[in-house]
Each structure stands twice: as C-alpha cells, then as structure tokens.
Amino acid sequence: MRRGRESLRNTRTRQLRKAGMKGRVAAFAIVRLDRYLVREGVVDWPRAIAVKEVVASQALAEAEVARLNTGVDPKDRLYFWQYTRLQTPFQSEPTEE
C-alpha cells in the first residue's frame, strides 16, 4: 500500500509542476512536526509545525526527510516533504495580479 501512495504522490507532484504558474518554480518544503510540544501543552498545533528548509528537487527532499527521521521517535517529532512553488523574482511586497 505504501508503494501505491508514493506513486500517487509522485503523479500528483508531476501534475502540479505541469500546472505551474508564470513566474513560479517547483520547490519542495521540508516540514517538521513537533508533536511533543503539543502533548506537553507548550504550544497548539499550528505552532508545532515548522518549515526547516526548501529545496529544488523531490529526490533531495526525500533523502533529507529520510535522514532526519532516522533515529527520531515519530511520536515526538516527524519530518515530511511537501510540494510547493517559489515565486520569482523574490518580492518583499505582495503584488496584485
């Protein structure tokens, strides 16, 4: 079942890249979920999620997530990657489209 889920995810990623918008490039966010902070009542769920970094390739994101999750208790902390887009050129102010 895991293989089917990964295949579906890869297909979805390819579809999103093809549907990219002008001025945007594919990127992959490496995200950390700190479950222990919520469990201990330190923060609520939205504050327990952080983007560690953004990389340019899915393969690099997958490798980094695998490395980060090695030896980490998934009950406490979990890393995963998420497809996203990077707006170019970089802007400090939102623009109207």
Average pLDDT over every residue of 47-76 = 94
- The answer to whether position 10 is within a domain reads yes
- The answer to whether position 25 is within a domain reads yes
Q: How many domains does the chain have?
A: 1
**Could you give the CA distance from residue 20 to residue 85 in angstroms, rounded to a whole number?**
8
- The answer to whether position 18 is within a domain reads yes
* Diameter over CA atoms, the chain: 45
Average pLDDT over every residue of 68-78 = 91
- The answer to whether position 95 is within a domain reads no
Domain containing 48 equals 2-87
Helix, strand, coil in percent for the chain, rounding step 5: 40, 30, 30
**Is pLDDT at 66 greater than 80 in this prediction?**
yes
**Could you give the CA distance from residue 84 to residue 97 in angstroms, rounded to a whole number?**
19
What's the whole-model pTM score?
0.67
**Could you give the CA distance from residue 56 to residue 85 in angstroms, rounded to a whole number?**
10
- The answer to whether position 57 is within a domain reads yes
Contact between 63 and 70 under an 8 Å Cβ cutoff? The reply is no
- The answer to whether position 59 is within a domain reads yes
- The answer to whether position 93 is within a domain reads no
- The answer to whether position 30 is within a domain reads yes
Q: Of the given ranges (24-28, 65-69, 80-84, 88-92), which has the lowest mean pLDDT?
A: 88-92
